[in-house]
Amino acid sequence: MSETLVLVNPTAGGGRAAGFWERVRPHAERLAPVRVVTPAGAEASRRAVLDAVESGCERVVAVGGDGTAHLAAGVLLGCKAPAMLGIVPAGTGSDLARPLAIPRDPVQALRRALLGPPVAIDAGRCDGERGGFFFVNIASAGVSGMVDETVNAVATRGRTTFLRCTLTALRRYRCVPVRVWADGEEWFAGPILLLAVANGTTFGKGMRVAPGAVLDDGLFDVVAVGEVSGLQLARRLPQLYFGRHLVAKPVRFRQACEVRLEPEAPLPPFDVDGETYPSGPVTFRVLPGALRVAGPLATATAER
């Protein structure tokens, strides 16, 4: 068995991930040969992952939040490395863990990340005037980027951080006119509260924005929410957590392999797997089966 790189983001979860890792580290060392790195910053983290895969590492385990998994996945996708990505959720949102059905128990999640067999899932690629990026869970435009900015400004985060920051952003955000094409067809035009290009099902710590999304179907679930009054927002927000919003009047939904967004005024930054990226005109394309992740273990293996 080759050595596994374990990338720990000590700042994830409002700084709780470092202590989380120290509690589970003895289990990791018993399960597999590991090399643990805790780089200082995103660029050092990217370099650590790239160096590892260039040296023949076959598995990278991200311990942190969605941003940590996003960073590691971006390196693997960018260099087309055959290495597998394992995920141990220890962040504020950890939304990618939900469609992947990663166990909530930390030791079971660690076992799966270190020993689970490879499962191919789709990823997304976004290209625009201000650069490009990969994503695994959801890329979105509109109020969601403002939510990310608000969350990132909170030093100590708890269970209600995303909800409180969402309510703050909804009060501040003003809908921006956009045009959206899906697989070459103009699909939406007008002021928009949110456009979600979804590979996974949830963002914002459990908001089921794309409840029917499937990680390996070769399609994005695309959700557009038009301009909504403050009273409607208060009534509709609970529907978002339960995934019951798709039939609401201001919501449009379809599936597509390619989505083109052209804002007609400045947007907040994009929300990409919980990270922020500069917004502007962009094209999102699905990459079928592009990423290998650590899947569930066979029952007999998991019980040993």
Q: What is the pLDDT of residue 300?
A: 39
Residue ranges of the chain assigned to CATH 2.60.200.40: 126-289
Q: What is the pLDDT of residue 303?
A: 37
Query: Per-block average pLDDT, block size 10, for the chain (304 residues)?
Result: 87 78 92 93 95 95 94 96 94 88 94 97 94 96 89 73 82 93 97 96 91 97 88 75 87 97 96 94 98 84 39
Closest CA to 275 of 7, 37, 20, 65: 65
Pairing label, strands 59-64, 4-8: parallel
> Which CATH architecture describes the domain 126-289?
Sandwich (2.60)
Q: What is the pLDDT of residue 234?
A: 66
Q: What is the pLDDT of residue 239?
A: 85
Q: What is the pLDDT of residue 50?
A: 97
User: Does residue 291 sit in helix, strand or coil?
Assistant: strand
Report domain 4-116's class.
alpha beta
Q: What is the pLDDT of residue 254?
A: 98
Closest CA to 130 of 256, 258, 270, 224: 270
Residue ranges of the chain assigned to CATH 3.40.50.10330: 4-116
Q: What is the pLDDT of residue 242?
A: 85
Q: What is the pLDDT of residue 92?
A: 75
Question: Which residue pairs, CB below 8 angstroms and at least 24 apart, start in 228-232?
Answer: 228/193, 230/170, 230/171
Query: What is the pTM for the complete model shown?
Result: 0.91
